[in-house]
Structure 1
Amino acid sequence: MFRNLFFAALAAALCAGLLVSAIQHFRVTPLILHAETFEGEAGHSHGAGADAHDHEAEVEAGEWAPQDGAERTAYTVLANLLAAAGFALLIGGVSALANLPIDTRTGWVWGAAGFAAFVLAPAYGLAPELPGMPAADLFARQLWWIGTALATGAAILLLARTRAPWAVAVAVALVAIPHIVGAPAAPDEPSAVPAHLAAEFAAAAIGTSAVFWLVLGTVFGGVNTYLAARPAASVNGVKA
């Protein structure tokens, strides 16, 4: 079973990672490159604060980054494949530990649950951001994102195991608590990035993530079902 889950996870990661990389290349990356042209255009007349931001920009400019074009695309594809493999192995492990099968019938449900936990719930408080937009402290954002994803995932898993009234109440509380606490607020600083560009990027990023998760779950379930049926389809090497 674990071998089947492992190979199903790799197949799902390959499909989802390559597909989402293609979508990002044509739909998301152009928005990021467009936003990068606005970096540094806001906040030039803020005295010492501006000098500090300029210094940080210079430090960041000196750090290594992949070149635009083929190198940047290659690293994006690699990152997507690694992320897809990690998420696929995660849902495979949860499926095995919770004794909740992931197959052809339930694969898309797993994908939808992953999208809700890792994208939709965190995005409600922290929308996808473009370069050049003001943002809160990185560690605080990461901590809130992880807590929100874990709480939402736990709520979904609890409801998948039982629909008792107490479970529904606990699940609602788990989903609500991170948003009651609130995501780290971005500083009130001007940004040269147009609002319509930020909104378009957020919609494109969330939509791309939805495709990623649905493909990941559906392919995982389909391949897992196929691999699980193979031993039963043959006896002593002869097909039944």
Structure 2
Amino acid sequence: MFLRFLWVGVMAGILAGVPTAAIQHVTTTPLILAAEFYENSEASHHAAAHQFEVINANVILVHGDINETEEEAWAPDNGLERTFYTSIATIITTIGYSLMLLAAMFLAKGKISPRSGLIWGLAGFTATGLAPSLGLSPELPGAAAADLTARQMWWGGTVVATAVGLWLVLRVSKIWAIILGICVIGLPHLIGAPQPVMLTSEVPSELAAHFASSSLVLHAIAWVFAGCAVGFVWQRQEKAAEG
């Protein structure tokens, strides 16, 4: 059973990840590249401004080339190499989604099908994408942001609270469970997400808004594809076992 579980999750993740990566390549990736252009331009401007310092209007101190003193972290080159690594990362992500959805559907002891996978996929998107975006929208490189640890803690708490709340509302479905579930879902938003001290950004607001909406749509597509693929592959496995 474990090998079957693992095989279904991996195959479903690949089936969902390939089209998701293709959609990502023509939607969010160009926006990220454009934001990096603004970010690098701003960084170069600051580096040039601090490279020379004039003292008493006639003494110039050279601080040195920042590329010589700071070793840059490795990153894939733009083009085919970056597309390849980004696509691999996306496929690995959808494999993770598929395994989580399959585990949830298995524990719920419901029928595993493309239709049920679609519903579970939408729930997964709601918990990990839609609900957290009410406090922390998807961000481009160079955008203003609060402390990373604080954001991660709030995001994780929101995901758990939303998942628990949805389970109470949709699976338990009793009056007390529905009321409690709604309260649990709303709790992280009453606490509030961590926000940056200064709302400054190196990228145009239009670009940031486009990226936020595109990222949410892509996130939903990944979860829906993963859920439907899990149901499809699981049913194929059942038919093969019966045959």
- Superposition TM-score tier, normalisation by shorter sequence: 0.7 to 0.9
TM-score by length of 1: 0.85
Aligned to 2:42: 41
- Structure of larger gyration radius: 2
Cα distance, 1:188–1:74 mapped onto 2, change above 3 Å: same
Map 1:75-224 to 2 at 5 A: 75-224=85-234
CA drift at 1:60:
8.1
1-side partners of 2:199 and 2:131: how far apart?
Answer: 25
CA distance in 2, matches of 1:2, 1:99: 16
CA separation of 1:60 and 1:95: change in aligned 2, threshold 3 A: farther
Look up the SS of the partner of 1:37 in the other structure: helix
CA contact (8 A) 1:17 1:81 kept: yes
Q: 1:120 to 1:201 in 2, by over 3 A?
A: same
Counterpart CA distance in 2 for 1:100 and 1:139 is 37
Q: Identify the range of structure 1 (169-178 vs 101-110) with the bigger mean alpha-carbon deviation.
A: 101-110
Of 220-229 and 172-181, more deviation after overlay is shown by: 220-229
> Counterpart amino acid of 1:102?
I
Q: Distance in 2 between matches of 1:116 and 1:152?
A: 8
Distance in 2 (CA, whole Å) between partners of 1:85 and 1:219 is 10
- 8 Å contact kept, 2:9–2:95: yes
Amino acid at match of 2:79: G
Cα distance in 1 between the residues matched to 2:28 and 2:171:
37
* Superposition CA RMSD, Å: 2.3
Change (3 A) 1:15 1:164: same
Q: Distance in 1 between matches of 2:127 and 2:110?
A: 17
* Matched positions, count: 223
Structure 1 pair 144–101 and aligned structure 2 pair: CA distance change class (3 A) = farther
| Partner residue in 2 for 1:51 | none
Helix, strand or coil at the partner of 1:126: coil
**1 or 2 for the larger relative contact order (CA 8 Å, sep ≥6)?**
1
Paired-residue identity, %: 40
Tell me if the contact between 1:130 and 1:201 (Cα under 8 Å) persists in the aligned partners: yes
- Give unmatched runs, 5+ long, in structure 1: 49-56, 235-240
Cα separation, partners in 2 of 1:134 and 1:109, compared to 1, 3 Å: same
The CA distance in 1 between the partners of 2:123 and 2:71, in whole Å, is 38
Letter in 1 for 2:7: F
What TM-score do the two structures reach when normalised by structure 2?
Answer: 0.84
Task: Tell me whether 103-112 or 223-232 shows the greater mean CA deviation.
Answer: 223-232
Letter in 2 for 1:7: W
| Cα pair 2:114 2:227 within 8 Å, conserved | no
- Does the aligned pair in 2 maintain the 1:133–1:191 contact within 8 Å? yes
Kept after mapping to 2: 8 A contact 1:102/1:110 = no
Matched, 1:12 2:38: no
In the alignment, does 2:231 pair up with 1:230? no
CA distance in 2, matches of 1:217, 1:60: 44
**Aligned position for 1:238:** none
Does residue 35 of structure 2 align to residue 25 of structure 1? Answer: no
